[in-house]
A and B are shown apart, each in its own frame.
Chain A
Amino acid sequence: MFYRLSGIHHTRYESARALWPVPADRWQVVALAVLALAAPLFVSNLYLGSYILPWLIWAAAALSLSLLMGLAGQLHFGFAAVMAIGAYSSIHLVRAGVPFELALLGAGVVSALIGTVFGAAALRVKGLYLVMATLAMQYLVDWVIINVPAISGGAQATLRTPAVSFLGLPISTLIERYYFALGWAVLITLFFMNVKRTSFGRALVAIRDKDFAAAVIGVDPFRYKLMAFLTSSFIGGVTGAVLAFCYYRAVTPEQFSFNVSIQLVAMVLVGGLGSAIGGYLGAGFVLLVPIFLTNFIAGLGESGWIYISQNLMAHLPLIFYGAMIIGFLLLEPLGLAKIYDNIRKALLVWPFRHSRS
């Protein structure tokens, strides 16, 4: 209904391959960009710092994982460990006097190396076996971080992030941290959308769909599976560093526990495998919906409209939250991104059911 497709013609193949060839999509992107840039002006600090900022970073993390799970089809149940490696590496690098810019890169490189080593298991095994291999990574990394005081600073220690600046701009106030996180999320999103259009991205998709068929058409599964782990772990590690410096500002091993890995997988699945917008929708759903549900039910209880025991109060939001995940996945197994896509496609052919031309 809101989409206008007539008059869109391409005089070069480059424009036909553009990310957003439809003007209505471009307008939506522009509107979102303006909203995101202006958010500090009209969103309170509480919401900006507790909701929007983590949402952006977790969306970037979900996109990193989606690159591996959605595009290359390699399951990873230890992605929080990858991010932990990035977070701890960057902190130690900065503490050692390495500039923040290089520390971010270093965090990515360390994560990529360790992530790829464990990912090498994917060369031999698939599916549930790969899940086991990545779970092993999660537990090994957790154990190492906790038990090596040189990394964690002790079992119960909390490492504060030092004050840093990026390209001469300090990153300390909330607004500075917000814009930095926004920049990183936008960068990852653009990277993710563009990877899908490159030969690398297509090779990953070929491996996802059938790795030996991909081998038959000349895609080397050995090389591309390792590259998928390498790329995904690199940006996952940097995202972990961004999370530590922009949001937590002090890291403990529990922040990257197994639960977090499962949450990341949930973000990718609920949002939609291999979809950029799905990363945002999934991260938003997993992060924000429990908070809203808790506030909503607490509000209901306080208003005296219904009586809820303190015990139930703690669990009711989780029950609804679980039901919503199951509901969405039943309604559309391909995730929230697919729901968005369905709505968009219906509006594209409105008022018809199919394209008429």
Chain B
Amino acid sequence: MQHDSVTLPDPATLHPNWKRDDHLIALLARNARDYPKGVAMRERDRGIWHEITWPRYLDAVLCLAAGLEEQGIKAGDVVLVTGDNRAQLYFAMLALVTLRAIPSPAYSDAQPEEVLGQMQRENIRAAIAEDQEQVDKIQSVRDRHPELRAIFFDDPRGLESKAPAGARALEDVAEAGRRRLQVTPGLREDLISRPSVHDVAVLLHSSGTTGAPKGIPLKHGHVLAGVRNAAAAGYFHVGEEHMAYLPMAWVGDFSFSIAAGLELRFTVNIPENQETALHDLREIAPTLYFASPRAWSSMLTRVQVGIAETTGLKRWLYDHFMPFAVRLERARLDDRSPNALQRLWHGVGEAVIYGPIRDQLGLRRVKRAYTAGEAIGEDVFLYFRALGLNLRQFYGQTENCALAVAQSPEDVSLTTVGRPFPGVDLRIDEQGEILLKGDNIFDGYFQNEKSTAETLRDGWLHTGDAGEFAADGQLVVLGRLSELVHKADGTRFIPTWLENRLKFSPNIRDVCVIGAGKDFLSAIVCIDFESVGHWAQEQGISYSSYAELSQRPQVIALIRDEIARLNAAVPETLFIQRFVNLHKEFDPDDGEVTRTRKLRRNVIDDRYGAIIDAIYDGRDGIDYEAKITYETGQSGTLTRHLAITDLPERRA
């Protein structure tokens, strides 16, 4: 089944500047020829890192390709690939690419139904699975997708002599392929020359939060353009040590571990399994490291827990040097460089605290540390920069190989995501939507012309994200365009963007920013009972309940400071000028938030209408009659006085 969603007679006309033989397999063959001793991959197996050189890499890919062809995989076939990162799965993906078939990776933790949907939508006839678990998952839905002919698996454990019909070990396939290569002269060269830059190299998928996931085919030319743009701007260097621990179905893994790995000759290190990834990270000490904001945050927690239980002297040193470095880093982001004495003291801290912690985390050799995907907390961002990691943010989607916009080492800032890569055009249209154009932008969704037409207009990728340019020309990503609302004077803002930044504070559990159609912004704040309660105990503030704690003047002042800090970082038009501490947390049982703690604004607007009115009437407090539903099912009301607090309207 040929991929032909973008119906153009000759794909070459779409990208006339791409050279036909500039594809991933040619790069692999080049590396094998020019760097026969170079280590392309390390895979950890029972504590030992097995090294795979470039010639062995090429050999493994070609054997698999020859074997898979014998098994009936043809050009244009879409093949499911599922499992955790394994060298054999990378080989298999490239073997498919060699045969001009299309690998379609699925997340290893995807539900059977999701895998079934993917197989049905893409008419998948063959699957490559990591182990027995994945084979069983595919097998469980196979009766509803009888078109699936073959399953190839990497790890035979639990499948020896018990493999379901049509399942074969990849090793056997590779062995058959090796024999075929030996008896067929010229097959190697033929295989290497088969792919074209215009072939689809991988079929990735959108997250599918709304409706079925959309297939996103990326061609050789797209990923290579993305990688080369990034390399040209210095975001990747040749020969990086890279840790392939992120899911293979995520665009970043294809871009980093395969495309950049081949083009820039990375050593791709594959951990033993997901559970040991952090330990294995330390054994490798990569030079390039990407982690989601959440992962950075949990790494910070890991350090803090470790420090909390360490001995007094070490904790004392940490408590002195870490805040010192954070202060210096904050000053550096404000373009104030440290004086000689501070630099000297920082050197002491480097020997005593920063260096050892980087070593403990396995980040000692990281030259380029990145995060992307969502906003990162200021504390986390500053912490790791203070630790001596050049942590930077970038911005991209699957549609542009995740390589579109990034911060350069000089202009790092917390709120922006940087400038577009060379070769990527960026503009923001009248609605405030971020548009991107370049060779790394895909050519359209898989068999979905409607979505393609919506997303790709005149070659511009409509990201669906709202953005703006900061004063220094860097891009600020505000959030999803669909969440954009306007103040009465027409100022655009995205409540979630402000809310997420407020929620980085441990004292704020939930917050709802209000202001659509109003003159100014205001906020309904739910304090974090645990964190604020702990703080209140330390301060000697008495309270008997959440409601009482939330209305303590000291607590209100605490929240006021948090909001003032956000106000200091946003334009004056986005200042939150009034807020109220709510007497209870938003509760999914009351319908105010979803189970995943996303706000349901209409419920909040409805239920707390009286409070919102009081805020915009300029009152400084409200006696709010709270409806309470008891567990018995009865309901009653309880009157609470809620204080409304003002913040300055302009910058001091």
Interface positions of A (Cβ within 8 A of B) = 1, 3-13, 16, 349-354, 356-357
Interfacial chain A residues near B13, Cβ < 8 Å: none
Interfacial chain B residues near A13, Cβ < 8 Å: 47-48
Interfacial chain A residues near B432, Cβ < 8 Å: none
User: In the complex, are the beta carbons of B364 and A9 less than 8 A apart?
Assistant: no
User: In the complex, are the beta carbons of A7 and B285 less than 8 A apart?
Assistant: yes
Interfacial chain A residues near B358, Cβ < 8 Å: 6
- The reply on B590 being an interface residue by CB < 8 A is no
Distance A8 CA – B358 CA, assembled complex (angstroms): 14
- The reply on B314 being an interface residue by CB < 8 A is yes
User: In the complex, are the beta carbons of A6 and B279 less than 8 A apart?
Assistant: no
User: In the complex, are the beta carbons of B362 and A357 less than 8 A apart?
Assistant: yes
User: In the complex, are the beta carbons of A11 and B282 less than 8 A apart?
Assistant: no
The 3 A-B residue pairs with the shortest CB-CB distance in the complex, in nearest-first order: A7-B285, A6-B285, A352-B306
Within 8 A of A (CB), among B354-391: 355-365
User: In the complex, are the beta carbons of A351 and B310 less than 8 A apart?
Assistant: yes
- The reply on B278 being an interface residue by CB < 8 A is yes
Distance A6 CA – B359 CA, assembled complex (angstroms): 5
Interfacial chain B residues near A351, Cβ < 8 Å: 306-307, 310, 314, 317-318, 352-353, 356-357, 360
Distance A276 CA – B44 CA, assembled complex (angstroms): 32
Interfacial chain B residues near A5, Cβ < 8 Å: 282, 359-360
Instruction: Select A6's contact among B48, B302, B362, beta carbons within 8 Å.
Output: B362
A81 to chain B, nearest CB (A): 46
Distance A357 CA – B49 CA, assembled complex (angstroms): 17
- The reply on B607 being an interface residue by CB < 8 A is no
Instruction: Select B283's contact among A8, A349, A354, beta carbons within 8 Å.
Output: A8
User: In the complex, are the beta carbons of B356 and A6 less than 8 A apart?
Assistant: no
Distance A256 CA – B364 CA, assembled complex (angstroms): 54
Distance A1 CA – B284 CA, assembled complex (angstroms): 19
Other A-B pairs beyond A10-B48, A13-B48, 17, CB < 8 Å: A1-B356, A5-B360, A6-B363, A9-B42, A11-B42, A11-B49, A11-B51, A12-B48, A16-B47, A349-B360, A350-B356, A351-B352, A352-B360, A353-B311, A356-B303, A356-B361, A357-B279
Distance A350 CA – B315 CA, assembled complex (angstroms): 10
Instruction: Select B48's contact among A1, A4, A16, beta carbons within 8 Å.
Output: A16
Q: Using CB atoms, name the residue of chain A closest to B366.
A: A6
Q: A13-B48, A16-B48, A351-B310 are in contact. Are A7 and B317 (CB under 8 A)?
A: no
User: In the complex, are the beta carbons of A10 and B365 less than 8 A apart?
Assistant: no
Distance A8 CA – B50 CA, assembled complex (angstroms): 14
Distance A186 CA – B306 CA, assembled complex (angstroms): 40
User: In the complex, are the beta carbons of B42 and A353 less than 8 A apart?
Assistant: no
Q: Using CB atoms, name the residue of chain A closest to B354.
A: A351
User: In the complex, are the beta carbons of B302 and A9 less than 8 A apart?
Assistant: no
Q: Using CB atoms, name the residue of chain A closest to B321.
A: A351
Distance A357 CA – B358 CA, assembled complex (angstroms): 12
Within 8 A of A (CB), among B375-409: none
Distance A9 CA – B50 CA, assembled complex (angstroms): 10
Interfacial chain A residues near B42, Cβ < 8 Å: 9, 11
- The reply on B309 being an interface residue by CB < 8 A is yes
Q: List 25 A-B contacts (CB under 8 A).
A: A4-B355, A5-B359, A5-B360, A6-B282, A6-B285, A6-B359, A6-B360, A6-B365, A7-B285, A7-B365, A10-B47, A10-B48, A12-B48, A16-B47, A16-B48, A351-B307, A351-B310, A352-B310, A352-B314, A354-B309, A356-B306, A357-B278, A357-B281, A357-B282, A357-B362
Interfacial chain B residues near A11, Cβ < 8 Å: 42, 48-51
- The reply on B8 being an interface residue by CB < 8 A is no
User: In the complex, are the beta carbons of B309 and A353 less than 8 A apart?
Assistant: yes
Interfacial chain B residues near A353, Cβ < 8 Å: 306, 309-311, 314
Q: Using CB atoms, name the residue of chain B closest to A10.
A: B48
User: In the complex, are the beta carbons of A6 and B364 less than 8 A apart?
Assistant: yes
Q: Using CB atoms, name the residue of chain B closest to A3.
A: B359
Q: A4-B359, A10-B48, A351-B356 are in contact. Are A356 and B302 (CB under 8 A)?
A: yes
Interfacial chain B residues near A12, Cβ < 8 Å: 48
User: In the complex, are the beta carbons of A352 and B307 less than 8 A apart?
Assistant: yes
- The reply on B183 being an interface residue by CB < 8 A is no
- The reply on B340 being an interface residue by CB < 8 A is no
Distance A180 CA – B363 CA, assembled complex (angstroms): 45
- The reply on B351 being an interface residue by CB < 8 A is yes
User: In the complex, are the beta carbons of B284 and A357 less than 8 A apart?
Assistant: no
Interfacial chain B residues near A6, Cβ < 8 Å: 282-283, 285, 358-365
Interfacial chain B residues near A349, Cβ < 8 Å: 360
User: In the complex, are the beta carbons of B310 and A1 less than 8 A apart?
Assistant: no
Interfacial chain B residues near A357, Cβ < 8 Å: 278-279, 281-282, 360-362
Distance A9 CA – B311 CA, assembled complex (angstroms): 29
Q: Using CB atoms, name the residue of chain A closest to B281.
A: A357
A345 to chain B, nearest CB (A): 13
A1 to chain B, nearest CB (A): 6
A13 to chain B, nearest CB (A): 6
Distance A354 CA – B351 CA, assembled complex (angstroms): 19
Interfacial chain A residues near B361, Cβ < 8 Å: 6, 356-357
Q: A351-B357, A352-B307, A357-B278 are in contact. Are A7 and B48 (CB under 8 A)?
A: no
User: In the complex, are the beta carbons of A356 and B48 less than 8 A apart?
Assistant: no
Distance A10 CA – B360 CA, assembled complex (angstroms): 18
Distance A58 CA – B420 CA, assembled complex (angstroms): 70
Within 8 A of A (CB), among B227-284: 278-279, 281-284
User: In the complex, are the beta carbons of A1 and B352 less than 8 A apart?
Assistant: yes
Distance A352 CA – B309 CA, assembled complex (angstroms): 8
Distance A99 CA – B51 CA, assembled complex (angstroms): 51
Per-residue 0/1 for B281-300: is the Cβ within 8 Å of any A Cβ (1 yes, 0 no)? 11111000000000000000
Interfacial chain B residues near A356, Cβ < 8 Å: 302-303, 306, 360-361
Q: Using CB atoms, name the residue of chain B closest to A353.
A: B310
A165 to chain B, nearest CB (A): 47
User: In the complex, are the beta carbons of A10 and B364 less than 8 A apart?
Assistant: no
B233 to chain A, nearest CB (A): 27
Distance A12 CA – B364 CA, assembled complex (angstroms): 23
Interfacial chain A residues near B364, Cβ < 8 Å: 4, 6-7
Interfacial chain A residues near B50, Cβ < 8 Å: 11
Interfacial chain B residues near A3, Cβ < 8 Å: 359
A14 to chain B, nearest CB (A): 10
Per-residue 0/1 for B305-329: is the Cβ within 8 Å of any A Cβ (1 yes, 0 no)? 0110111001001100000000000
Q: Using CB atoms, name the residue of chain B closest to A351.
A: B314
Interfacial chain B residues near A1, Cβ < 8 Å: 351-352, 356
Interfacial chain A residues near B283, Cβ < 8 Å: 6-9
User: In the complex, are the beta carbons of A7 and B356 less than 8 A apart?
Assistant: no
